[in-house]
Every structure is written in C-alpha cells, then in structure tokens.
Structure 1
Amino acid sequence: MKTPIIALLQLGAIYSSVAFAYPSACEIPRLIDASAEQLQDGLTKGCFTSVDLVNTYVARIAEVNSTVRAVTEINPDAMAMAKQLDEERKKGKLRGPLHGLPMIIKNNIFTDDKMSSTAGSYALFGARTPSDATIVTKLRAAGLIILGKAGASQWANFRSNNSTNGWSAYGGQVTAAYIKNQDPSGSSSGSGVISDLGLAFATIGTETSGSIIGPSEKSNIIGIKPTVGLTSRHFVVPISERQDTIGPMARSVKDAAHILQIIAGKDKNDNYTSSIPFKTIPNYVNACKLDALKGKRIGVPRNVIKIFGSEKTVVDQFNRALTVMKQAGAIIVENTDFTDYAEFFNSTVPYDVLLADFLSNIPTFLGKLTVNPHNVTDLESVRRFTQHSPLEQYPDRDTKIWDDAIGKGLKNTDPKFWPLYQKNVKFGNEGGILGTLRRHKLDAAVLPSEVSLYVPALIGSPIVTVPLGAFPNGTKVNHDRELVTTGPGIPIGISFMGDLWTEEQLVGMAYAFEQKTQARPKLKRFIQPKKEIKHII
C-alpha cells in the first residue's frame, strides 16, 4: 500500500523557534500568488532557501490535502534535492531562471526515484521504467525540485463512463477550491488545484482532449496545451500518440512560459518531436509583452458556442473579454465558424480514433516497463486486474471505455483505421480551427475555455487558457454524483487557439490579456492554506 501523506510530512516541515533576521529589502511573497521572479528574488537575496520552500509547501499540503486530495505523495528526496540546489546557489551555480523551485507533476509521468507512477491505478503500483520521463530529466537539469505527484482522473479519464473527474483508485477524489466538492475537471485535476492553492511553484499536466485546459479553467490558472510533438511523451502513460501532449499549469502566463521553455524540444525517444520546425525553440518568456494583442486578427467561431450551448453568463463574460481585446488593439473578426462543428459534435469518429490509439499504444508502453508487478501487458490484462481488484472500485466505476476498445478490436495499424483518422483530421483542419485561421487570415481564435478544447485536440494544435471570471451568485447548482459541476463562484476561462507551433504568439496574446484583466485575484475560495514562508524560516 502507498505511504500516507501524513507520514511523508516527516520529510522536513520543521518549525524553527530561532529568530530569523531578514536581509534588507526582503519581501516575502504570499505563495497563493507568488511568481517565479518573486521567489527567485527572495532566494537570491538570502531571504529564504529552497529548503524553506520545500518545508513551506509540505506544510501547506498538510493543511488542505485531506479536503482537496490534490497531492498523492511527496518525494522523500525533495529535501536532499533542495539542499543540493541551495549549495549550488551559494557557489554561484544556477541551472536556470527556475533554479531551486519546487514543482509537482501528474502521476501518469514516470520518475526513476522513490515515488510511485500509477496513472491513478493499482495495476501500475510498483511499476518502474529504466529512467525518468524525458520532461522530468529536463526539469531536474533546469534546477526544478520534483516535490511530489499530483492526483488525477484514473488512466487520464479513459476508463469509465460512470466515474467523476479527478477520481482514481490510487489517490481518491480530487476537488477544486472555489466551492465545496467542486468538480476539478479532468484529468490533470490535482495539477490544477496544486498550482491554484500554491502547494508548489507550478505543475505539469497532460492533455489528450481537454485535460490541461479544463482543470486550469476550473482552478482559475493558466494552462498551456502545446502542439503535439513540442514536448516529449517518453515514459508518460499514453492514450493517443496523435493527441497526447505535456504542458505547464501555473498561476501566471509568464511562469507557464518559463516552464514551456524548459520542456519543449526534440527527443529521439518520441518521434513526433522530430516534426518541430524550429532550429532553436522560440523564446516564450520574451513573448510576454503588454502590446502583444495590438494588430492581431482574432476570430470568434460563434457556431461552436451556440451548438455547444454555453450558459448566458459564460457568453456575457466572453463578450466583455472581446471588448478588452479591442481596447488593446486587436481586430475581432466575428462568425469565423468551424464549418464541420455540427457534424463533429454528433460524430463517434473522434472516440473511435482514441479507442484505436489506446488499444495500440498501451501495450507498447507496458512493454517498456522494467518492473511490472501485476504483469499487465495489454488492455485486456489491465481490464482483468481492474475488474478483480477491490481497490479499483469496479463496477461502481466501470470499464466501459476499455470494453468498447476491446469489443471493436480496431488498432491504429489496421487499414480500416486510416479513413477514420482522416475524418478526424478534416474535423480539426479544414472544417475546424486550421481552416478558420486560413480562410479569415487570423492570428488566433478565441472561445470560452469550456468549448475550446475539443476541435484542436483532433489535430494536435495549441491552446492557452487564461482566467476570465466566475459564475455569479444565484447560479443553479448542478451535480455529477457528489461533485458540483456548476455553481456560484466556480471559475470561467477564455482560450486562445492557434495554428500548429504558434505557442509563441498565443503566449504573447494570453499575457497581454491577463495583464489587462487581472481576473485571477478577484475570485474567492472556500479553502486555502495559511502557512507561508515567514512561518517556516
């Protein structure tokens, strides 16, 4: 069984009774909104250390995790890592602009350390890969401290049709912080909540269709879903080689850009990254300019909002956001519709494509494990374990998605798969986001975040979501099982969508919008931790 979080708090959340003399000019930031620049400023001036940050974040996790269940475990080596990075700082060696900052990664990303990598399932408990996932290697090399693993929807929300966002057998039910029992969206649920509550500097999520954008929206943070192939998926539990991507989730656009700068790039272990068209990865941090919206042609696919049926309060706030963009110099182009959206909305093809990819990609991934305690080698053996282990809560949480995949028996190497995939591409390309951008000569398109994620997923194009507002008082409270899906105070986001490999432009536009609106600090949570750096040092 997994080590309880409380036991892991022995890691080092030690409260010192010795008086601490702050160096002059120290401003200790509140961790609920601390930026990388503020944290680095404090570390550089000697106001606090990376060890202090680890201690403080662990204490904050202890305050709220029994309610939000966002963190599945804390890295037993985090304190040693922090001490090493503090020593490097003393010697004048900095690995990069995020040196010594603790972050938490989604638990479907494998690490070659003392932590578990489970995708929320006991079928993978104890499983090992021969090395860290490529993005973890990059984060460590850049001086980030891997503080722990984030709770997530089991198997990245690709097991059941009667489960809930954020639930997993290994980790329990993640909930967000704005209303009690709030649906955190899926599947990077814990990653969203952790970043929002300042339980780490930032987090990493994964997305196949909405799993960065949705949780980022519902936790009132920034999420960047990169172009498929910009970030490596090596040793990350897959759903679809065509749609899976790894991206940052943070409290500001600039912090997310810093992380994207680190994790982007080619990897010989993920052939999709060979499609990266740049000799040098763009400078996403430098793209964060206040005038980045000026002169940009931004389309509004109104038919998507109408067909999806967004609530009036979402549409009203979205329309006000368009006014902000106009005031910032953007050119808003209305009714730049996704021409195939109605057909896509009622089609089973996108689901069938994911089933075929999953049925093919899971055995490939499982075959790379160096330790496989439950001998799961393909989807059939994963399903068998899940249906016979009491820990997996079957059939209360069913295996309907897997039943469909196994029942259809269609793999992505079958000739019958190709026409399905081509239909998917048409939904996303000519009939979707790419066609809209070309026809109307747009720099980007914008939608409420709740409807932005589906079409770009089909062709692996990028999205950046930014906080916009919240559902007002008087909003009807709706539920999915025990979770509240809509209700007063639940965050609303807006997404910037672009062509493949246009993250630099999207980051710039998102930053300019974020700075104009400053929406994130205006929302109120029902729970948030109180421990701060000043209480620990």
Structure 2
Amino acid sequence: MKKISLLAVPALALITPAMAMPPPLPPVEGKDAATLQAEMTERRVNSDVITATYLDRIRNIDDHGPQLNAVIATFPDATSQAHTLDLERQAGRLRGPLHGIPILLKDNIEAKGPIATTAGSLALKDNVTNRDAPLVARLREAGAVILGKTNLSEWANIRSNNSTSGWSAIGGLTKNPHALDRNTCGSSAGSGAATAASLAPIAIGTETDGSITCPAGVNGIVGFKPTVGLVSRTHIVPISHSQDTAGPMALTVRDAALVMSVIAGTDPADPATAEADARKTDYAAELSVAALKGKRIGVLRDRIGDRADIATLFDAALKQMAQLGATVVEIADSRKGLEELGAAEFEILLTELKADMATYLASLPANDGPKTLADLIAFNKANPAELQWFDQSLFELAETKGGLDSPAYLEAKAKAARLAGPEGIDRLLATHKLDLLVGVTNGPAWASDLVNGDHYTGPSASQLPAVAGYPHLTVPMGTVAGLPIGVSFIGGKWTDAEVLAAGYAYEQASRKRVAPTYRVGVAP
C-alpha cells in the first residue's frame, strides 16, 4: 500500500476530525509482578496496557537499541490473552496474584500457539507442537499472560565444552544489560537478561547444573532452582531426568515464590513429581523478614574463589544475615571426599542426554524431524550455521554412551547420588547442625567471545544442589565494577519454602539489586 504524503493533502486536517492520541504507555521498568498486580487492583492500569508496554520494550530494547537478543519470539495472541483476563477481572473473577501478569518462557519449554520450541537449534526451527508443558498450563490457569520465548545457550549448553553461553543458532548471542559486551551465563541466558531489562517481570528458566542460578546471578536478579521433582518436566527439551528442573527468574524473591506456588505439583507423566502435591505449599505465605532469626547457616568458604572484592561483598552479606539473627558457621572443607563427583555427574549427563533426547524427539507430533541424538549430530554436520562458532564434541561423546542399564551409568548414578546428597549437603547440614548453606553464586560476567568461547573462572555454588536435586536460590549481593554478584542459599531436599524465606529475609534487609545501564564496558 502506497504511503500518503501529508504535504500532498494540506487540507486534510480541515476535513478530517482530529484523531485522539493514544495515552502514553505506563512505566514498567524495575517493577515486580506484585507491584503491577497492585496497580491493576487499584484500576490504575490493566493487563492489556501492561502487556503492550512490555511488547514495546521488547521492540525498543531487544530488537533495536541495545539489541539484547534476549527474546526469540512473542506470541501473537499476547494482547488478546491480556484482554480476556481484563474482562474476567471486571466481572469479578480474579485467578490469583499472577492474574494478568506477562511471563516469558525459555525456548526449551513448549507452549500452545504458532511459535516453535527450538532449544535454540535450527534442527527444531519448525517444532510447533501446540502443546502446553504442564507448568505452562498451570501458569495459564493462574491467569498469567504467556508473552513469548527467550533465547538460551543452544541445547541448554550441552553441545560443546567450547561454547559461548547465551548463543544459539536461532537467537544469536544474548547480551548482558549491565554491560553489553559481557556474557549472560547460561543456559537460561535470555530469561536472565530479559527479566533484568524488564522485558517481562518474570521469566521461566531451566537448570541441569547452574543454568538458572548463574544467569540470574550474572544479570543481577533472583533465580530459584527448586527440588527436582517439585515441578513437572513434561514437554521440556531435556538433558537429564536426574537433574533437570524448571524454575522462576524474577526481580524479587516474592515473585519467585508466587510462581512456585503455581507451577509446583504432581504430573502423572513425570514420575519424579509423585510427591510434589504433598510437598508443595503457599511459598509466598511462608516468606518472613524474620526467617533468618535463630537459623544456623553454613558458609561454603572454600567455594568463593580468591577475589578480594567478591570476598568483601560476601562478608558484608554474612554480617547482614548475622544482624538478622542468624548464627554464621564457617565451613572450610565442604569439598572433602567429593573428588569423584564431577566425573560421575558427567557420565550421568551424557548417558541421560542420549536416552532422554530420543524419548523427547519421539514424542513430537511431527514425524518428519530428527528422532535421535545421532540425527541431531548429522543435522549439525550438514548445516554450517550450527557449527560456525563451536563444535558438537559433547553430543558426539554422548552418542558413544550405553543405555540407562549400562554398568558405567548405574555406577555413576549411585555414586553421584551418594556424594552430593548423604555425603555432601546432608553431611554438611548434620555435622555442623545447620539449617542451610550459603555461598557465592557467580563471579563477574566475562567478556563474550564467540571465537574462543567462555572463560568463566569465578566461584560457583551450583554443583552440589544440582546433582543432589536440592533447592538453590540466588539473590543479588552487590556488584564488582558494575557487574552483579549473587549470594546462594541452599537447603536439603524439599526445604524449598525455608530456602526462599531465608533469601527473602536477606533481600528485604539488603536491597542490593541494581538497574541495568546498557553500557559497553565495565564501570570505572
């Protein structure tokens, strides 16, 4: 259609009534879901307008401007979802605290609609399943607006040891909103960056080992990896049924707790969730600013790295916890006896990747796509765009593994379960009479480098809770040269409510989350 030039029709304003200008979009930057819900309750704004505002921010910040590349796609019915929920609110039906709240999903989580679930790979670019993962169905039932899909480290960072976190062939490289040349960590890179940049107040990530907590820490937000088995994994592209879980990434612990209250629950299709209905609770109702009073917290001192600036932040956080009534207990030997844990975990992940990926691919409605890990390897070899930056050595190594009945796998599985649980977290809690463990989540974000890959050398608290399948929460602790650092709260199995409450108490007293600056380079 040919555009009309106003210069060619100077009398247009005289014969056409003046069109009313749409009202300006409301500010949403830095607002959590609880704040937005309060504004909707007070009729100051509605979900339709809030959703439109986030879509506008995605266009201006993600697709243009800083070009974060955090969001792969948005659902075309997002505003109609919001409009329907507004009509329900007007009719007096309020589904809960997520009613009308836009939420983004990591693009390995299926959702009904015309958008593919790709895991970042061109091999799944047409993977439109029209299925809601059970956690997505729960979010919809709770009134959330399913806004779109976020970028991720391709295949959740299990394709190569030489990868660059936050890159996928579908979505490109995600940028850290606190420093655009810095990495977002992975694999829930887009979920972390999008939440930090207020492209949605909440995103859902997934973790096998560090994939929620590291990008949350590096992007300066809250991230929660729940007990494995509390949230269904059905219709999520897998790595490992022993360690995979989905979880919330949010601006506040309260928002993470609100999401957990919705997505936790038993799924008959996922045997790991058999106890979930009996274990879940109202996590937001369990939050308290006094949650650390009388608690004994164990300090993972040998896992914080050797940077003095990070140690200073951590010591200040511990002092804050002590002021809130916690007893701080130093642990100098948390790694003792766990030397074989890494090798056992590696064997489990590769063996389960081969088996679980085949099961997932076979479940897809389309019957003309890849069916096995070998098919994915062949696809990548035939498509240069997939291997332009790094190889698929981990895929190829996984393909050499035996089945879930192989002796090497069974031995590794038993060893990892014993070392991470009874002889790991459980031992530390019991020996020192602790309620929970605390540590440093991450080091400063490193410069993204597609040629040489990741060079993350900072501390990490993720492995023990990841392998044990226990809850792990990260909360902003401060910054180093303007780059966010998180503090981790880790508990025993099914202590999700206690872990969230402890992190909430610290968060409310410390208030260390900072707004992103979208600069290039670090702060002086």
Q: TM-score, normalised on structure 2?
A: 0.88
Q: 1:29, 1:39 within 8 Å by CA — same for their partners in 2?
A: no
CA distance in 2, matches of 1:338, 1:129: 44
For 1:116 and 1:158, locate their aligned partners in 2 and report how far apart those are by CA, in whole Å: 20
Counterpart for residue 297 of structure 1: 296
Using the alignment, how far apart are the partners of 1:175 and 1:151 within structure 2? 11
Indicate yes or no: 2:28 matched with 1:31. yes
Tell me, in whole angstroms, the C-alpha distance in 2 between the residues paired with 1:243 and 1:30. 38
Match of 2:320 in 1: 324
The alignment partner of 1:416 has SS state of helix
Runs of 4+ residues deviating >4 angstroms: none
Q: What residue number does 2:10 align with? A: none
Cα distance in 2 for partners of 1:198, 1:254 equals: 16
Which structure 2 residue ranges, 5 or more long, are not aligned?
A: 1-18, 443-459
Contact 1:159 1:402 in 2 (8 A): yes
Distance 1:29 1:508 in 2: 31
For residues 93 and 251 of structure 1, do their structure 2 counterparts lie closer, same or farther at Cα, with a shift above 3 Å needed? Answer: same
Maintained 8 Å contact 1:29/1:38: no
Structural mapping, 1:93-492, within 5 Å: 93-129=93-129, 131-276=131-276, 279=278, 281-305=280-304, 309-335=305-331, 337-340=333-336, 343-344=339-340, 347-373=342-368, 375-392=369-386, 394-407=387-400, 409-450=401-442, 451-471=460-480, 488-492=481-485
Distance 1:333 1:30, change over 3 A: farther
Is the contact made by 1:425 and 1:458 (CA closer than 8 Å) also made in structure 2?
A: yes
Amino acid aligned to 2:343: T
Kept in 2: contact 1:191–1:203 (CA 8 A): yes
Q: CA RMSD in A?
A: 1.9
Per-residue CA deviation, residues 403-435 of structure 1 (Å, 9 max, x unaligned), is: 11113x222222331111122123312332221
Counterpart of 1:57, as a letter, is Y
- State the partner residue of 1:498: 491
Q: C-alpha separation between the residues in 2 aligned to 1:146 and 1:316?
A: 40
| 8 Å contact kept, 2:116–2:129 | no
- Percent identity between matched residues is 38
**CA displacement at 1:37 relative to structure 2:** 2.5
CA distance in structure 1 between the partners assigned to 2:275 and 2:135 by the alignment: 17
* Residues 498 and 19 of structure 1: CA distance in aligned 2, closer, same or farther (over 3 Å): closer
> Could you tell me how far 1:286 is from its partner in structure 2?
1.3
For the residues of structure 2 that align with 1:444 and 1:280, how far apart are their CA atoms?
18
- Residue 17 of structure 2 is aligned to residue 17 of structure 1: no
Structure 1 contact 387–395 (Cα < 8 Å) conserved: no
3-state SS in 1 of match to 2:147 = strand
Deviation at 1:348, TM superposition (A): 2.3
Q: Of the two, which has the highest radius of gyration?
A: 2
Q: Is the 8 A contact 2:33 2:202 kept in 1?
A: no
- For 1:25, the equivalent position in structure 2 comes to none
- SS of the equivalent of 2:256 reads helix
Unmatched tracts of structure 1, length 5 or more: 1-14, 21-27, 472-487, 529-537
